Amino acid sequence: MLYPNQTIKDNCLYIGGANTVELAKEYGTPLYVMDEDMIRETCREFKRAIYDGVGENGLVLYASKAFSCRAMYRLVREEGLGIDVVSGGELYTAMKENFPPEKIYFHGNNKTADEIELALSYGVGRFAVDNKEELFLLNELSVKRGVRAKISFRIKPGIDAHTFDAVMTGQIDSKFGVALENGEAFEIMKTAAALPGIEVVGVHCHIGSQIFTTEPFFGAVDVMVDFIARLRRELSIDIRELNLGGGYGIKYTEEDKPIAPAEMFSKVLSHLKEKCEKTGEPVPRVLIEPGRSIVAAAGVTLYTVGSVKTIKDVRTYVSVDGGMTDNPRYALYESRYTATVANRASEPQSETITLAGRCCESGDLIGKDMPLQKTKAGDILAVFSTGAYNYSMASNYNRVPRAATVFVSGGKSREVIRRESYEDIIRNDL
Ligand SMILES: *Cc1c(COP(=O)(O)O)cnc(C)c1O
């Protein structure tokens, strides 16, 4: 048990008041189950935390790559958050739900001309520009339309966020953004400020993922405010907006100790205000971009166990009817997860097993050496904290149809993403 929305009744696991064993029966497996009430509550927590620090002078953007579908954009719109999108596909989906374009921030390190055109036609609030080629392309396309695109530049602040290399994005050896250390960021801001199709509004940084301490954010604030002050002093550029990105950690296993948004931002925003005071800078508008921390904990994936294979003195493989196709995170990062047998939820986790997927790939695992109850074919297995970067990273490898997603609210469930059919699989085959 990792979160308070999980309960056990009659040996069955309940999520947000819904019996997961019944959900598996009703919708089939694999199945993504998301606790809608918990997502909404988390959105409100982040909103309150920013409001308590800077009032109306801030905005929470949901980093929608974590979990993106129409129902999610609808939910986020209803909760009054903005979003960040990183592709034409995410942008298109959001616009299908009439997401207010001024609250959309368009990210990505290699936006295509078509995507930029689409974003300009919708009138998105900000382009988070990543590099000089994109800057010139955006300028050209904006001028052609007779508009000025509002931009925030993606800066590499050079902060080590004490996290895995593969998800560390703030240091100099990164494909994202422009570096501060070597003057690249300064030069490009100077260039940007002189372009007719560009209005420089902000600066942006995103220092990594699964961050559990405030220090890396203090570091990012210091570096970014110093940079903003230098731009004002030396180039008279008025930066009014500071985007601190996402990366707020969540609990995948009992070892993870996340900081609640209220505590995180009371500290980070106090630090920001002090730093601005010292530097003589007005406090900028503050944006944050939580992705994982909005949705991960609210999600559980349900599978059906197909086989239990014990290799004497080696390990026991429990195989389920999904795997890297619905959750590639172990294959990508050796991410760790916690699981339970949903129909034996009160039994002790006396076994140590390796949870295997169904794909033709030895690396297709959900996790190694995980504690679990004794289990057998036909059991329903639940993997926790799968709400982020699971569905959004899903694939059709081995022509496995993507799983359905249901939202539960007040104990009731509804499908928000239909399960793919074999017909869906061949739809674009000619
Ligand atoms: C991925 C990403 C986020 C969200 O990161 P989380 O770890 O999911 O909070 C926010 N901003 C940018 C620019 C990103 O690339």
Query: For the segment 354-398, what is each residue's pLDDT rounded down to a tens digit?
Result: 999 999 999 999 999 999 999 999 999 999 999 999 999 999 999
CB under 6 Å to ligand 1: residues? 63, 65-66, 84, 107, 206, 209, 245-248, 289-293
Distance 187 CA to ligand 1 centre (A): 26
By DSSP bridging, strand 339-341 and strand 31-35 are unpaired
Q: What is the mean pLDDT of residues 12-40?
A: 98
- Give the domain ranges of the chain: 6-35+298-426, 57-292
The helix/strand/coil state of 359 is: coil
Give me the pLDDT at residue 374, please: 98
What is the architecture of the domain spanning 6-35+298-426?
Beta Barrel (2.40)
Give me the pLDDT at residue 163, please: 52
Distance 82 CA to ligand 1 centre (A): 14
Q: Read off the tokens for 80.
A: 């009054």
Query: For the segment 147-159, what is each residue's pLDDT rounded down to a tens digit?
Result: 999 999 999 988 8
The DSSP H or E segment spanning 322 is none
Distance 36 CA to ligand 1 centre (A): 21
* Closest CA relative to residue 84, chosen from 38, 185, 152, 173: 152
CATH of domain 57-292: 3.20.20.10
* 12 in catalytic set: no
Please say whether the beta carbons of 388 and 370 come within 8 A. no
Give me the pLDDT at residue 299, please: 98
Query: For the segment 407-417, what is each residue's pLDDT rounded down to a tens digit?
Result: 999 999 999 99
Ligand 1: residue of 167, 168, 206 to mutate (most ligand atoms within 8 A of CB) is 206
Sign of the CA dihedral with 5 first, then 214, 72, and 328 last: negative
Which percentage of the chain shows pLDDT scores above 90? Answer: 94
Give me the pLDDT at residue 168, please: 53
How many CB atoms are closer than 10 A to CB 84?
Answer: 28
Phi, psi of 245 (to 5 degrees): 70, -160
Q: How far is CA 98 from CA 47, 148, 236, 352, in A?
A: 21, 23, 37, 48
List of residues 6+ apart from 25 with CB closer than 8 A: none
Give me the pLDDT at residue 181, please: 86
Ligand 1 atom, smallest distance to 293 CA: 9
Average pLDDT, the chain: 96
Please say whether the beta carbons of 304 and 321 come within 8 A. yes
The helix/strand/coil state of 307 is: strand
Which percentage of the chain shows pLDDT scores above 70? Answer: 98
Beta bridge partners of 307: 319
Query: For the segment 210-224, what is each residue's pLDDT rounded down to a tens digit?
Result: 999 999 999 999 999
Question: Against a cut of 0.85, is the pTM above it?
Answer: yes
Give me the pLDDT at residue 44, please: 98
Give me the pLDDT at residue 166, please: 47
